[in-house]
Structure 1
């Protein structure tokens, strides 16, 4: 029996949401500290409508997982991202080199 190529992105998204929720049980979502962000010394860009789709590494407790997210804020060194899993919305700051732009055009 074949697979549905039309529904493949949906199944991928569902699998990622399950993985995120499982990782969330390992501990709280970690974010950069105020000291690491250095917002008093670094310029901050706030995107009113997060449009850029990115892939980012985040950490729940000791467990690292790659997520599809939206870029909401940025500094020269860090990125503020937003991502969803199930009915939960997660927000955190990660180092800029933990983020790469997704070029697949998928809006999730």
Structure 2
């Protein structure tokens, strides 16, 4: 059995993470790389099946406001990563530059 306080700490951290995303979303729409930026016509896309999707930390931008999120990498190119993350019951998906993503250990 785990510590009850560890569960509370994890729940508090999740609420804080979600609130940071909700607050950032007030500054504008979620930004995503354009097809031109990620060279969609020249770069092959790898689409990861569910069991191959890795947990990552990634920087995203809502309007001018940036926030670091816990996400899953769902697709990638040599330059960019397609990520998915959730906050307050909403699912977000966007493309970010590969160097904006850090694999969780």
TM-score normalized by the length of structure 2: 0.91
What is the count of residue pairs matched by the alignment? 101
* CA apart distance, 1:6: 3.1
What's the counterpart of residue 81 of structure 2? 79
Q: Which structure has more helix as a fraction of its residues?
A: 2
What CA deviation, in whole Å up to 9, does each residue of 1:28-76 have, x standing for no partner?
A: 0000011001111111100121630000000000000000000000000
> Cα RMSD between the aligned structures?
1.3
The 1-side partners of 2:87 and 2:59 are apart by 15
TM-score normalized by the length of structure 1: 0.88
What are the ranges of 5 or more consecutive residues in structure 2 without an aligned counterpart? none
What's the counterpart of residue 45 of structure 1? 46
The 1-side partners of 2:6 and 2:37 are apart by 43
Structure 1 runs, 4 residues or longer, greater than 6 Å off: none
What are the ranges of 5 or more consecutive residues in structure 1 without an aligned counterpart? 104-108
